Amino acid sequence: MPATARILAVDDEPELTELMHYHLVRAGYTVDTAANGWEAIHAVRAHRPDIILLDLMLPDLDGFGVCEILRRDPDTATIPIIIVSAWSSTDSRNLGLELGALDYITKPFQPRDLVGRVDRLMHARAG
């Protein structure tokens, strides 16, 4: 994993972004956070992350909308997205994956599982 690998964690629950931030920084990542959809779009354009962890239920612009906007822009279309959502239905999972997410983690999750999935995705991209 490159030392400068940057993760963007997007969630409107500050406790959850703090949890993700803590565990990912301990794993060696640089982590930015965003609390809503438009903040996420601006953060992606300002500091192109290597991976985006994206909640679906966000104020102003939901995660599906964020995913769709990022996938339509050639500059952001290839950034891997892992959806991290309380929605556990097959429909929401399938829609997220259809919109271009590479993985889907259901809340609540084990921090070790989240870091493991990020690590695997980073290693797959590097290899």
- Which residue ranges in the chain fall short of pLDDT 50? 1-2
Q: Across-strand partners of 31?
A: 7
Element (H, E) at 41: helix 37-46
Name the class of domain 6-119. Answer: alpha beta
The per-residue pLDDT for 3 is 52
pTM over 0.75: yes
The per-residue pLDDT for 2 is 47
User: Three-state DSSP class for 30?
Assistant: strand
The tokens for 31 are: 């982590």
